[in-house]
Amino acid sequence: GQQLNQSPQSMFIQEGEDVSMNCTSSSIFNTWLWYKQEPGEGPVLLIALYKAGELTSNGRLTAQFGITRKDSFLNISASIPSDVGIYFCAAYNQGGKLIFGQGTELSVKP
């Protein structure tokens, strides 16, 4: 079935560093969504991407919809301690179900 492969699984970085994570698949998608989840909470939508090649920013976050429509990238610039959490990519499969990557767990050392 359609799967989203997210990497890296975890990252330990110093405050102030930039972060990059990505999501790839063998399938084509029409929409990519990026979420952040903190412990005990539901995922919060960060960025939505609708068009191949699209680059969208939300504060220090920037996400791109891959030109092949099979991948997406999320970058966080100048990380701060409150960026800690698990970041998920998500996309709708052919059946209309929202599927998720395995998540990237981000730890930021002050």
Binding site for other proteins (CB under 8 A): 31, 33, 35, 40-45, 48, 50, 88, 90, 92, 95-100, 102-103
Q: How far is the CB of 18 from other proteins (least distance, A)?
A: 26
Nearer to other proteins, 91 or 108 (CB): 91
Q: Which residue(s) pair with 91 in the sheet?
A: 32, 99
Nearer to other proteins, 62 or 105 (CB): 105
C-alpha to C-alpha distance for 12 and 6, rounded to whole angstroms: 16
Taking the alpha carbons of 53, 98, 6, 33 in that order, is the dihedral positive or negative? positive
